[in-house]
Amino acid sequence: MSAATTALAGAVALVFTGLGTAKIRAVPAMRERAAHAGMSTKAYQGIGTLEVAGAAGVLLGLAEPRIGGLAGAGLLTLLGGALISHVRAGDDLKAAVPALVSAVAVAGYLAALGAAR
C-alpha cells in the first residue's frame, strides 16, 4: 500500500469518524442540521452510524482493498445524498462545500486504492 493511499485513508477515516460520532451523539449542531434537512434526529443518527462504519471500512481497506473500495463507494453514496439534501433545502454552494470536498477526498482515496492494486 502506498503512502498516499495510507494518508488518504487516514484523513477520510478521521473526518467521517468525527462527523459520524457527532451525528450519533446528536450534538446540538447536528440536531440543527438534521432539522434543516427535514430529517429526524434518529435518521441523522443512522447516517452517522453509516459514516463511522464507512470510516472503519476505509481503514480495513489498507489490509483488504476490496473492503476499502466498498466502503469508499458507500461513503460516496452518502455524500451524493448529502448534496441532494442541500439542493432540496435551498442551500447555496458554500453550504455544500464540505460535502463536495469530502467527495473529492473519498474519490482520491478510491483512485489511490485502485492504483495500488
Could you tell me the pTM of the whole model?
0.93
pLDDT score of 25: 98
Tell me the per-residue pLDDT of 55-79, one tens digit each, with 9 for 90 and over: 999 999 999 999 999 999 999 999 9
CA angle 102-56-8, nearest 5°? 45
Angle at 87 between CA 83 and CA 93, to 5 degrees: 75
pLDDT interval class at 117 (50, 70, 90): low
Which cell is 5 given? 493511499
**Opening angle at CA 112, ends 44 and 67, nearest 5:** 55
Of the pLDDT bands very low, low, confident and very high (cuts 50, 70, 90), residue 112 is very high
